[in-house]
């Protein structure tokens, strides 16, 4: 019975906490102000990601008590908390990009150190393993996940609905892989993100802020790392589930780098931002991304999980059409 009531409780908890955070943000003037580089038109309170962070902590504590999660992995799964704290401080008063990146790097390297004995990653007939995987590929991937999720949090409902989809889809695959501990955590994150979405769905009454976006990106990476360690879910399945965010953020960044633009400066060059302007609707963009996720990406993620040795090929099948879509939407270029 505890399991039956737990996730509705987490959802209602997230709804309530998000409302409290919104009131506090308004009173303390924690507001995102409209500019020519933003996608909103009125001052909007930020910091709603606090509810997702607290919901995750409740679920992590329950996982430790219920499933006996080993301490190394429990500690590993808390490595996104310093990023959340830095994000909250950045929402209140701007922190330097260097400081935030330093916190992210420290958390990423700490996480891979705690993982110990990370299994090889299959690239078709090739494998990435050992020092190369643990001390270069994985930390870089974790830091990039943290930042790309922040980049993709630019219109109402998008970051929250992406988190809800990825977590629910991952929970299904983890249950099939008999990893009930991580499935529990993913369902808890799904409930927390859904509770936040009550306030963030278009027209948004509250934004997630850096406290939520950076935390979510890194947390999903950490859960993926533990799942890879458990052998319960392929890393390629995670890449596929997150492909819509990964492709848009990466394509946009590379294009801006090639034009020697300041990549730390705020902009409206992502594919999803161009789509929102063309459709004049944040909601339509979110529903389109969700449709792509459910109809295209989830089946490929399931296939990659069944055949991890061929995961890179399924990932390519997922990514190539998204690259074409990003190009067609002029990702990485200013709108006319």
pLDDT, residue 335, reads 66
Q: What is the dihedral of CA 192, 196, 201, 203, to 10 degrees?
A: 180
Cis-peptide, bond into residue 203, ω within 30° of zero: yes
Give me the count of residues in the chain.
336
Q: Which residues contact 224 (CB under 8 A, 6 or more apart)?
A: 233, 235, 238
Is residue 116 predicted with pLDDT exceeding 80? yes
Tally of helices (H runs) and strands (E runs) in the chain: 16, 4
Q: Please state the rounded mean pLDDT for residues 64-85.
A: 91
Give the whole-angstrom CA distance, residue 24 versus residue 213.
19
Q: Please state the rounded mean pLDDT for residues 215-229.
A: 97
144-198 per-position pLDDT tens digit: 999 999 999 989 999 999 999 999 999 999 999 999 999 999 999 999 999 999 9
Quick one: pLDDT band at residue 1, thresholds 50, 70, 90? very low
Q: Burial level of 246, CB count in 10 A (0-12/13-18/19+)?
A: buried
Is residue 327 predicted with pLDDT exceeding 90? yes
Greater model confidence, 125 or 76: 76
Quick one: pLDDT band at residue 129, thresholds 50, 70, 90? confident
278-319 per-position pLDDT tens digit: 999 999 999 999 999 999 999 999 999 999 999 999 999 999
Give the whole-angstrom CA distance, residue 90 versus residue 264.
14
Helices 210-230 and 81-92: crossing angle, nearest 10°? 170
């Amino acid at each position: 019975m505890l399991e039956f009531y737990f996730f509705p409780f987490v959802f209602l908890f997230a709804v309530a906490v998000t409302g409290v955070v919104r009131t506090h943000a308004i009173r303390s003037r924690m507001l995102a102000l409209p500019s020519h580089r933003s996608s909103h038109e009125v001052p909007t309170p930020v910091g709603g990601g606090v509810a997702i962070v607290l919901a995750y902590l409740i679920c992590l504590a329950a996982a430790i008590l219920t499933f006996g999660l080993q301490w190394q992995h429990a500690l590993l799964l808390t490595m996104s908390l310093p990023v959340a704290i830095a994000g909250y401080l950045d929402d209140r008063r701007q922190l330097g990009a260097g400081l935030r990146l330093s916190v992210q790097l420290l958390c990423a390297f700490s996480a891979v150190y705690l993982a110990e004995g990370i299994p090889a990653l299959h690239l078709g007939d090739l494998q990435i393993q050992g020092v190369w995987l643990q001390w270069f590929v994985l930390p870089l991937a974790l830091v990039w996940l943290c930042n790309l999720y922040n980049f993709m949090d630019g219109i109402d409902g998008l970051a929250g609905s992406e988190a809800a989809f990825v977590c629910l889809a991952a929970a299904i695959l983890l249950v099939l892989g008999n990893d009930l501990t991580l499935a529990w955590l993913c369902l808890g994150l799904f409930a927390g993100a859904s509770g936040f979405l009550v306030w963030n769905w278009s027209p948004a009454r509250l934004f997630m802020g850096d406290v939520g976006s950076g935390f979510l990106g890194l947390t999903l990476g950490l859960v993926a790392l533990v799942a890879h360690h458990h052998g319960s879910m392929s890393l390629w399945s995670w890449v596929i589930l997150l492909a819509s965010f990964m492709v848009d953020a990466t394509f946009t960044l590379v294009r801006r780098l090639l034009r020697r633009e300041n990549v730390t400066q705020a902009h409206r060059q992502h594919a999803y931002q161009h789509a929102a302007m063309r459709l004049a609707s944040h909601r339509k963009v979110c529903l389109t991304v969700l449709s792509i996720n459910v109809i295209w990406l989830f089946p490929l993620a399931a296939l990659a999980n069944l055949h991890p040795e061929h995961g890179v090929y399924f990932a390519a099948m997922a990514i190539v059409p998204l690259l074409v879509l990003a190009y067609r939407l002029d990702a990485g270029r200013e709108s006319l």
